[in-house]
Structure 1
Amino acid sequence: MKQVFLLLLLCFAFTGFAQTTVVTGKVTGTNGEILAGATVVEKGTSNGTTTDAQGRYRLTLLSKTAILVASYVGFEKQEMAAQPTLDFVLPEGNLLNQVEVVGSRSLNRSPTDTPAPVDIIDIQKVTSRTGQLDVNQLLQYAAPSFNSNRQTGSDGADHVDPASLRGLGPDQTLVLINGKRRHQSSLVNLFGTRGRGNTGTDLNAIPAAAIERIEILRDGAAAQYGSDAIAGVINIVLKSTTGVLEANVNGGAYQAKYRFDSKKFDGLNYNVNANYGVSVGKDGFINLTGDFNYRDHTNRANTNPGDLARRQYGDPRIQNASVYLNARIPLSEKTQLYAFGGLNHRKGDAYAWTRFAGDDRNVPAIYPDGFDPIISSKIEDRALTVGVRRLIGKGDLDFYNTIGQNKFHYLVNNTLNTSLGAASPTSFDAGGFKLLQNVTGLRYSRFYKTVLQGFNLAAGAEYRVENYQIFAGEEKSYKSYVPGVAPGSQGFPGFQPSDVVNKNRNNLGVYVDLEADLTKALMVGIAGRYEHYSDFGGTMNGKLSARYKLTDYLTLRGTASTGFRAPSLPQIYFNSTITNFVQGKPVEVLIARNDSKVTQALGIPKLKQETSQNLSLGVTLNPAANLSLTVDGYLVKIKNRIVLTGQFSDDDDVIGEDLKALGVGKAQFFTNAISTTTKGLDVVLTHRMPLGAGHLTTSLAANFNKLTIDEVKTTPKLEGKQDIYFDIRERYFVMASAPPSKINLGFDYALQKWNFMVRLTRFGEIKLADWNYDPQKLDVYTPKVTTDVTVGYRFSKQIGLAVGGSNVFNVYPSMFTPSLTETGGAWDPVQMGSNGAFWFARVNLKF
């Protein structure tokens, strides 16, 4: 904290040396009408303001050479070079070309003017300065409240990185594409992973090359956008550029520190992408993106040869290919057709736990030295949205349909079925699952500029249909052919015919969202949403928000809302028999679906929705032209959070006989077991100053979090067994999803054709309980700081080059005993990763 306060003082001190540039002016229409509430923004930044009742504005610039952009609902936006006095005259335009910012359904609201914090992340700028290639890792460093961990030894989660906002569950963040709901992954996170028992959205199925910007609403928004928006909303806005072919070639590798062999580098990463758009009629376009990303294995198993749990421990091999479309076709002056979506195909190879030569599950005739099973995946993700927008008077009517599907197919290689002996195959089809979602929606929005100081009405309805399926693998992947011998393919037993599921549900939601500028200084918003699910009934939620401008430099903002999240179909119906490892020893565990004979016999209730109460209060401060500061505190209380219980065995003194009667050795379940409270603080500080012939931008972004578990609820039959129902390891996994802090400090210096970036990231302390279950001997991951450095040079408008490194000092997390960690390596999955330094180069081409 001392470093943070020192930086604040330095940044304020810098303002005394930087020259302030202020622009004043007026915004009117071509007929001379005053445009009160028009937005004026400094292009390429979040620095902006709105006009007063006389159409006048005053804006303190970050740069002397800024370009200002003025916009107003129903008028064409204009861009002009800044000068001390600058008036805009906006011609009437097409309302259909206006884009709303997540967090406000008013098309006349800029991201700097919303009552809740919204991060606007320019993906092109971020990707040109960092070594991260996928969306999850890009956001990991660009947004401190965003958390994502790469997994190893975690079955499906090795192939789909779980991610979350503000330390809540992966399924408590809603993802939108161009403002429309994105389908979730069919994967439910199980072993060795954060977000255990949760589903989530696979952000890496969307190529970064197709994205213009990402908007992150850091506030509960279930009343505005629907289920899953307890922690916030991530809105991904696709590119709409035309006439420019942009291509990127990226490559890099990790500097290996722990390997069996003498290799100095591993984990080769490379990416090739291209984007091009063509104009269609007036204001129309078709934009296409192709992207291929390859990531090879890393291996960090050689940390403690005296306690070797795995010979292969590190990133899986991933091949990720995507094609994406974004299009808008004008049908008339008042009607347009739009479409966007894409296809993603991913192949993954992840190492499971080692079966050493003397393991009773090995067949020496096949693997005399033992073997490392490889859990392979074929993931197909596809989505398409088609809609029509039409002007109805001065309002905007939007009718659309979004369909998306995620299919996860398991294959197991370099393995065997022990019960088949030397005749066993070494590869198996293990089955899998898929989730389909179809959303049909109708929205209407209208801005009344003469009501108060501006009033926006938005209302709509959505009808959603979901289907979840589990399909079985081949018989040899799950069956034992010799009594008493472990069944199925080692590493990941296949899904059995008894696991097969094909379930549907539907949901109808209706909402009203109102915003009014009561005065030039005070904005108030109210939203209400009712949703009815076919499987558990209805829920009503609301949100109040306000923003008050104390001065031109100081603004207060706050929200209060209720929220909900419906249990996902995978949480309700997922079931399987899998092999888990306890202190390095394999144990067969049944995960029983919510309506199974096992759960009914044990009195496990039906899953119901999670509910939340969200409060936030923040301040934005712009004391000088080159300095901005936002501070937002939040409180989120969630009841009936869905988790995966601990394992109950057939020797339990209460339910052991029930399990034996059902032929189950160990069992666990999804249940609404806990209630939590999360308190946190987001701080974002940006300072810009001239330095020599260039400009230095300094940014500090920090998230501070504290999650407490308020209650653990068991069933009447299992009362008193809270330590199994939700044991100490599960408690610390949930709390680790909300790291106490993450702080990013970045320096970005632009000098003519050169660009230099240095970024320091401090990852806060994480505590986890290992397989010893000893609260006095926790695995404590002490705070660590990583350093990223990038140097970029633009040879011409057509060619640019960037080289650099992430974690250049090769810093690793604290190390622990491999056989006692969840994953069998020296580290559990933590935010900073355990691969060490990554060195990269990137070539950018524009034609």
Structure 2
Amino acid sequence: MPIAHRPSAQALQLTALASALAASLAALPSATRAQPTAESAERITIVGSRRAQPATSAIDTTVPVDVYSLGKAAESGGQFDLAQTLQYLSPSFNSTRQTGADGADLIDSAALRGLGSDQTLVLVNGKRRHTVALVNLFGARNRGSTGTDMNAIPLLAIDNVQVLRDGAAAQYGSDAIAGVINIQLKKRAGCEAVAGVGQYSAGDGKNGLLSAYCGLKLGGGVLGITGEWQDRGRSNRAEAGNPRIIGDTQVRNETLYLNGELPLAAGTVLYGTAGLQNRRASSAAFARGGVGSGDIPSRNSAAMYPDGFVPFINGDIEDRTLIAGVRTTLGGWAFDLSHTHGSNAMQYDISRTLNASIANLDLINGGAGISPSSFDAGGFRFRQATTNLDASRYFEGWFGGSNLAFGAELRREHYSIRAGEPGSYVDADGVGFGGNAGSQGFPGFQPADVTSKSRRSHALYAELESTPTAALTTQVALRHERYSDFGSTTNGKLAGSLKLSPAVLLRGAASTGFRAPSLQQVFFSSTFTDFISGVPLDVVLAPNGGAIANAAGIPKLKQEKSKNFTLGATFKPDSAWAVTADVYRIAIDDRIVLSGRFDEGNYPALGATLQALGVGQAQFFVNSVDTTTTGLDLTVSHKGKLAGGQLNSYLAFNHSKTRVGAVHAPVALAGFEDVLLSERERLFIEQGAPSRKATLGFEYATGAWTTDLKIVHFGPQTLGTFSGTAAGVPNARYKAKTSADLSVSVALAKNIRLTVGGNNIFNVKPTKQDPNETDNGFIYDSVQFGLNGASYFGRLHVTF
């Protein structure tokens, strides 16, 4: 049955379950009824707890939670998308635009605490958001990982972003190892619009933004509608004489989001969210040489590109989300029944390219040596459907007052790969002769790569949050999940906070967690043909459970397992100052990594097995690494008066260190751990993000004027080189760097505000490296804050 038909069946099952639960739970005598509606309207649910509570700051939570109101960022911020906005707000958050990394150039990955992008769970309005279809295979960040496209949601649609800096798999399920990001969308009356422009100081990378939000009152509820158009131009930092294009991907986004709720009766609310984004993105691949280079006829044709060329990897990305649910109270219990459907699809077409083998065959047959210059290279799609039933109730008599919550979740996921047109992958003139196969820049997916796979999971979870005394809060959570493809897992969490005084709070948490292998990691396949030792053989990224992986002795992928410990304190001596400090340790066992390439040269016995299958080189996803991440999060904020104006200051700091411990090679690969995980790949895991990051911000407002200064510090990184230390080439060391953002905003009228400013105003760039040894083949790699330098912007914000 198609996935689109599943939700209704699941919803009906859970509706029946809700009715049965309501009838039985309403009979419990010792509970108090839910708070009156008027009071409940003043209460919110902060990620990390299922208890509705008065809106609080991170000072009062049992685990560290940062709440970022995005109103100011949407109105006057220097960043035009969510990922870059959080990059310069949250020290625990990392998102660096890639260049020269194929599909990773088209979708910015994001992560917390230096871990992988698929180890951070993203929620929208408290509901699990789908990940992208892309697996990051290249680039300095998140290799071998999937993630969530933060930039598919327009800034103007967002009310706040809550960043839970603690393991929460026992509460929210898979992926919540590093933490949880909850994106809370607006649903308030009123209209506003933003127009923004910007570009780099080098004169390129022009940005244009038009965004509008309008909250309409409908039947006692509100429907918020956000539309956004964004056009980001290409930038190029290649030095004179370098034919490459190195910089930002060209992107055009068209986005529409609806979010609202409608009261149906006393205590019953119907709510929903719908979002869609169409993105057209174009990234420049590595350059191919012209006449006189070694690229003719292998990678170019003199008749088509005599001076060489740069292929463009273009992606049409469609992102869709739909949330529908109903909240109600019955017998003192609060119920929430919801269904969430999300999908992400990327289709590749490669332009300004050629298939060199087709061009060479044309030349052999008496033609000029011509090939088509664009190809449909295929693509992939990921869909996720999740149905949740949550129930909660506050009991005054339990342990001084307790909130009991429990629920169930059903989820179905589907992943598929579509082959490209034959010209995108064929070797027309014969393997190992003349021109290389496939479209230059990005060879298309072959029929052997095509897949269409699904899996199901279901979960039961419970949470009890108690206040035995006015000073003590405790939290216990338990979650059991079963997956159709690898089995079940049970995880728990204990957390608590103790107020030593009105100003000082101690807090701590211990939890176990897990991350299920994504369908993308299990079933992604990529094949191209190479001439190895005089024999035409396939080079394959082999899917788990397939003939090649089984022949190599690669076991079935299973869940990553984690243990997370957090200990911290908060200090709020008065209304002006607030301080939080939390230390953490995250131990992950059986972490999934993408192996190096195995062949006859580095593993003769396995190489012979592969060649018997027609495979020259193969790499696999495998559970093979244990890592430990330790760190410190610190925040300090102050609100005060200065020269008749308001001065708000804050410092946010994160220091994180990840180390690879044991490398567990499958029995068939024992003794070849250096191929399974090379030094270069180990450093990508350990130092893919800066070891520390800090933001020091000052906002000064007086009259109609507001000035905002942010100083952002990125710690050092060390990454591997292509040659490696074994060849005498030292690792690439990136020194700590500090940038500054400055903006000035003025109210032109009661409802109109103009902002102008600059980002990285001192034009700071990463440490220069040998371009022959970097991941993107350039003197500046895509690390820290990127390689583009200073930029300037202007925004006009209007309310009406």
Residue identity opposite 1:312 in structure 2: I
TM-align CA RMSD: 1.6
2:332 aligned residue (374, 394, 398):
394
Partner of 1:268: 206
Which of 315, 318, 328 is residue 251 of structure 2 equivalent to?
Answer: 318
Using the alignment, how far apart are the partners of 2:244 and 2:629 within structure 1?
38
Question: Structure 2 CA distance, aligned partners of 1:622 and 1:96?
Answer: 27
- Tell me the CA shift for residue 199 of structure 1: 0.7
Q: Which of residues 220, 227, 241 in structure 1 aligns to 2:167?
A: 220
Could you tell me how far 1:334 is from its partner in structure 2? 2.3
Moved more, 664-673 or 407-416: 664-673
TM superposition shift of 1:651: 2.7
**Is the contact made by 1:115 and 1:545 (CA closer than 8 Å) also made in structure 2?**
yes
1:538 CA displacement? 0.5
Asked if the contact 1:705–1:738 (Cα under 8 Å) also holds between the matched residues in 2, the reply is no
How far 1:649 sits from its partner (Å)? Answer: 2.6
Q: Which residue of 2 aligns with 1:660?
A: 611
Distance 2:577 2:43 in 1: 29
Q: Residue 521 of structure 2: SS of its match in structure 1? A: helix
2:197 corresponds, among 236, 245, 251, to 251
CA distance in structure 2 between the aligned counterparts of 1:94 and 1:510, rounded to whole angstroms:
30
User: Could you tell me which residue of structure 1 aligns to residue 557 of structure 2?
Assistant: 607
Residue-pair matches, total: 740
**Which of 41, 47, 55 in structure 2 is aligned with 1:102?**
47
Matched, 1:749 2:700: yes
SS at match of 1:675: strand
One-letter amino acid of the structure 1 residue matched with residue 486 of structure 2: F
Alignment of 1:369 with 2:369, yes or no, is: no
Task: Decide whether the 8 Å contact of 1:706 with 1:738 is kept in 2.
Answer: no
2:277 is the alignment partner of 1:344:
yes
Which residue of 429, 446, 450 corresponds with 2:393?
A: 446
Partner of 2:441: 491
**Paired residue for 2:355?**
417
Aligned mates of 1:183, 1:842 — CA distance in 2: 31
Contact residue 688 and residue 719 of structure 2 kept, 8 A: no
Cα offset for 1:797? Answer: 2.0
**1:738 CA drift (Å):** 4.2
Any conservation in 1 of the 2:303–2:370 contact (CA below 8 Å)?
A: no
Partner of 1:818: 771
Is the 1:628–1:687 Cα contact (8 Å) retained in structure 2? Answer: yes
Contact 1:247 1:845 in 2 (8 A): yes
**Does the 8 A contact of 1:95 with 1:396 survive in 2?**
no
1:578 is displaced (CA, Å) by 5.3
Select which of 225, 230, 242 maps to 1:293: 230
SS of residue in 2 equivalent to 1:658: helix
Equivalent residue for 1:152, pick from 78, 82, 99: 99
Q: What is the distance in 2 between the residues matched to 1:98 and 1:687?
A: 25
Residue 609 of structure 1, CA deviation: 0.2
Match of 2:239 in 1: 302
SS of the residue corresponding to residue 86 of structure 2 reads helix
User: Which residue does the alignment assign to 2:746?
Assistant: 793
Provide the C-alpha distance between the structure 1 equivalents of 2:749 and 2:437, rounded to a whole number of angstroms.
Answer: 62
Structure 1 SS opposite 2:573: strand
Using a 3 Å threshold, how does the CA distance of structure 1 residues 507 and 794 change in structure 2: closer, same or farther?
A: same
Contact 2:34 2:393 in 1 (8 A): no
Q: How far 1:292 moved relative to its partner?
A: 1.0
Question: Letter of the aligned partner of 2:628 in structure 1?
Answer: T
User: Which of 778-787 and 310-319 deviates more?
Assistant: 310-319
In 2, Cα distance between equivalents of 1:629 and 1:637: 27
Correspondence 1:727 to 2:727: no
- CA distances 1:318-342 after superposition (whole Å, capped 9, x unpaired): 0011100101011111211111020
Residue 500 of structure 1 and its aligned partner are, at CA, apart by: 0.5
Deviations 1:488-545 (A, max 9, x none): 1011111111111000100000100110001000000100000000001110000000
TM superposition shift of 1:673: 1.3
Give deviations 1:244-265, integer Å, cap 9, x for gaps.
2200001100112xxxxxxxx1
Deviation at 1:130, TM superposition (A): 2.8
Query: Which residue matches 1:60?
Result: none
CA–CA separation in structure 2 for the residues paired with 1:672 and 1:432: 26
List per-residue Cα deviations over 1:373-422 (Å, max 9, x = no partner).
00000000001011111111222101111111101101100000011112
| Structure 1 residue runs without a partner (length 5+) | 1-71, 76-91, 257-264, 581-586
SS of residue in 2 equivalent to 1:540: strand
- Corresponding position: 1:713 with 2:664: yes
Amino acid in the other structure paired with 2:272: A
**2:34/2:334 contact within 8 Å kept:** no
Question: One-letter code of the match for 2:468?
Answer: L
Q: Which residue of 1 aligns with 2:130?
A: 183
Q: In the superposition, relative to structure 1, how do residues 369 and 739 fare at CA in structure 2: closer, same or farther (>3 Å)? A: same
Corresponding residue of 2:6: none
* Kept in 2: contact 1:351–1:373 (CA 8 A): yes
Q: 1:665-814 to 2 correspondence within 5 Å?
A: 665-774=616-725, 777-814=730-767
Letter in 1 for 2:510: A
Query: Does the CA-based 8 Å contact 1:769-1:779 persist in structure 2?
Result: yes
Cα distance in 2 between the residues matched to 1:680 and 1:289: 38
Distance 2:219 2:46 in 1: 25
Q: CA, structure 1 residues 157+382, in 2 after alignment: closer, same or farther (shift >3 Å)?
A: same
Q: Give the TM-score of the pair, scaled to structure 2.
A: 0.91
- Match for residue 14 of structure 2? none
- 2: distance between equivalents of 1:190 and 1:273? 33
CA distance in 2, matches of 1:578, 1:791: 53
2-side partners of 1:346 and 1:589: how far apart? 31
Of the three residues 3, 18, 35, the one matched with 1:74 is 35
- Bigger drift between 273-282 and 182-191 goes to 273-282
- Look up the match of 1:407: 345
Identity %: 46
**1:797 and 1:384 mapped to 2: Cα distance?**
36
Which shows bigger deviation, 767-776 or 548-557? 767-776
1:195 CA drift (Å): 1.0
Cα pair 2:382 2:416 within 8 Å, conserved? yes
* AA partner of residue 222 (structure 2): F
Work out the CA distance in 1 between the residues paired with 2:463 and 2:777. 49
Q: 1-side partners of 2:538 and 2:62: how far apart? A: 51
Question: Is contact 1:492-1:579 (8 Å) kept?
Answer: no
Deviates more, 1:213-222 or 1:384-393: 384-393
Could you say which residue in structure 2 is the equivalent of 1:846? 799
Equivalent runs, 1:548-697 vs 2, <5 Å: 548-577=498-527, 589-652=539-602, 653-697=604-648
State the SS of the aligned residue for 1:555: strand
Q: Following the alignment from structure 1 to structure 2, what is the Cα–Cα distance between the partners of residues 622 and 224?
A: 28
Stretches of structure 2 that go unaligned for 5 or more consecutive residues are 1-32, 360-368, 531-536
- Kindly state the Cα deviation for residue 127 of structure 1 after the two structures are TM-superposed: 3.3
State how far apart, in whole Å, the 1-side matches of 2:624 and 2:682 are: 11
| Residue identity opposite 2:90 in structure 1 | A
TM-score after normalising by structure 1: 0.86
Q: 1 CA distance for matches of 2:697 and 2:500? A: 30
Please list the CA deviations of residues 336-367 of structure 1 after superposition, one character each: whole Å capped at 9, or x if unmatched: 11110200110011000100112131001011
Aligned partners of 1:157 and 1:193 also within 8 Å = no
Q: Distance in 2 between matches of 1:642 and 1:689?
A: 48
Structure 2 residue aligned with 1:328: 261
Describe the superposition over 1:794-814 as per-residue Cα deviations: whole angstroms up to 9, x where unpaired.
112211000000000111110
Q: 3-state SS of the aligned residue for 1:803?
A: strand
Deviation at 1:555, TM superposition (A): 0.2
- Partner Cα separation in structure 2 for residue 353 and residue 635 of structure 1: 40
Equivalent in the alignment of 2:10: none
